Amino acid sequence: MDYFSYKKGKLFAEGVDVERIAAEVGTPVYIYSKATFKEHLKRIGKAYGEIDTTICYSVKACGNINILRFMAEAGSGFDIVSGGELYRVLQAGGDPSKIVYAGVGKTNKEIAEGLDADIAYFNIESEAELENLIRLAEQQGKQTRAALRVNPDVDPKTHTYITTGMRETKFGVDIERAQKVFAGYAGNSSVSLSAVHVHIGSGGKTIEPYCEALEKTLSLIDKLRSQGHTIEAIDLGGGYGADYESDTVPSAADYAGGIVPLLRDKGLKLILEPGRSIAANAGILLTKVLYLKTGGGKKFVLVDAGMNDLIRPPLYDAFHFIWPAQVEEKLVPHRRDRDLQLAGTEVVDVVGPICESADFFAKDRALPPVKRGDLLSIFTAGAYGFSMSSNYNARGRAAEVLVDDSKFAVIRKRESYEDMTALER
C-alpha cells in the first residue's frame, strides 16, 4: 500500500504532481511519501500489538536523517549496522534505548561509540566479537546488553545475495553452537548476554520460513533457560517482503498471524527490524527519457538515471514496476506486475547512460510509447535505492525529495561536480 496514484492520467505523490517536482528539482530524483512510511510503521505496530514489541526501522534501507527524524517522532526504534548509521540516528533525535546494533565486522571505534550512546543491544555474530565487546566495555567501565545471532538453517527462498540464515553464511553462529557461547559468556558482568537474534534474509514472500526459524529459535531459548540462562528478548530481524508487484507478499497482519501465536506466554520482549517492508513502497525514482533507439530487434528507452542511482535490477535481478508519469486514462495501471500488457503498449528495454551492459532497469518490458523528455517512474524504490547509490562514472547522486500531503521539500540536494571532488582537494 502506498500514496502514489494516478489522477486524470498524471502521477501524484500524495497531493503533489510529480511533474511539478521534476520541473523544480530536476531528474533523476528520489521522491518519498511521508504518509506511506508512517502507514507501514503503524500497520506493523498494530499487527504485533498484543506482544511487548519494539520496532527498529533498518537504517540501511533508507537512511536520510529527515526520514529518520519523523520515524523517531512516530515512536520507531532503529536497527543499525555501522557507526555512521548510529551517528545518523542520533542526529535525527533517535532514542538510544531503542537502537539495536547488528553487523559482523564492528570496529573498536564503532563499538566504543555504541557503548557511549548506551544503546539497547549489540547483536553479536561470533565469539571473537563478543570477547572484543567485553574487553572494550571493561576498559570503558561500561555495562551493556547483547543478543547472540543464531543461524536456524532456514532458507527464505529469496535471492542468494540476501539469504543470511543458512548454516554456511558469514552471519551469526550455528544454532547448535549457541549453547556453548552462552555457557562460556553469559555470566559476564560487563556484557549481559540476555537475548537471541535471528535474521534469515530479505525479500521473503511467504510466512512459513519465518515461522520455522522462530520455532527452532524458541526451542533453543527453552534449552538455554533450562540451563539457568536469563533470556529476556528475541530479535526476529527483518526481511519481510514488500509489494514490488501487486499483492505478491503477506501483509504485516499475515506475518503476525503466524508469529504472534508462537510467542504468546513465552515471556519474551519482541524486537523487529523491518526496513524494506516500511520503505520500499514509500519511494519512487523519477527519471527522464533522453533518447529512443533500435538495435537489431530491440527497442531501447534511454533515461537519465543509471545503475549508480538504482543498482537492484542488475545486482539482484530485481523487478521494479516502471510506467510513465503521464498517460492516457486507458493506460493508467491498476496493478503493478511484470506481465502487465495493456493495449497500446510496446516491448522495450529501459536502460541508463552508464558504460556497462549491466546498466538496465527493465528488459523486454511492456510500456506505453514514450518520447524524449517524458518522465518515467520506477516504483517501489524507497528501500536500497538511494542508500546503495554511488558516484560511478563520476555521476552526482540524485536529489531526494519528501512529500507531505500537498507540500514537498528537498531533503538532500543533488550532488554537484564540486561536491564529488571536495574531499580530494
Catalytic positions are 355
φ, ψ for residue 278, nearest 5 deg: -90, -45
DSSP state of 383: S
Neighbour tally for 340: CB within 10 Å: 17
How far is residue 81's CA from residue 104's CA, in Å, rounded to a whole number?
9
How far is residue 89's CA from residue 116's CA, in Å, rounded to a whole number?
14
If residue 89 lies in a helix (H) or strand (E), which one and from where to where?
helix 83-91
Q: Are 314 and 359 in contact (CB under 8 A)?
A: yes
How far is residue 161's CA from residue 368's CA, in Å, rounded to a whole number?
33
Q: Are 320 and 340 in contact (CB under 8 A)?
A: no
Residue with C-alpha cell 552462552? Answer: 182
How far is residue 397's CA from residue 278's CA, in Å, rounded to a whole number?
23
Q: Are 255 and 240 in contact (CB under 8 A)?
A: yes
How far is residue 56's CA from residue 273's CA, in Å, rounded to a whole number?
5
Tell me the CA distances in angstroms from 36 to 400, 403, 404, one per residue in order: 16, 10, 10
Nearest to 403 by CA among 10, 16, 1: 16
CA angle 178, 179, 185 (to 5 degrees): 90
Cell numbers standing for residue 393? 562514472
How far is residue 300's CA from residue 406's CA, in Å, rounded to a whole number?
35
Q: Are 34 and 70 in contact (CB under 8 A)?
A: yes
**Which residues is 367 bridged to in the sheet?**
346
CB-based contacts of 114: which residues, under 8 Å, 6+ apart? 83, 86, 99, 101, 106, 122, 144
User: Would residue 140 be called left, alpha or beta, if left means φ above 0 and alpha means ψ between -120 and 50 degrees?
Assistant: alpha
Which amino acid is residue 179, in one-letter code? Q
Cell numbers standing for residue 172? 551469526
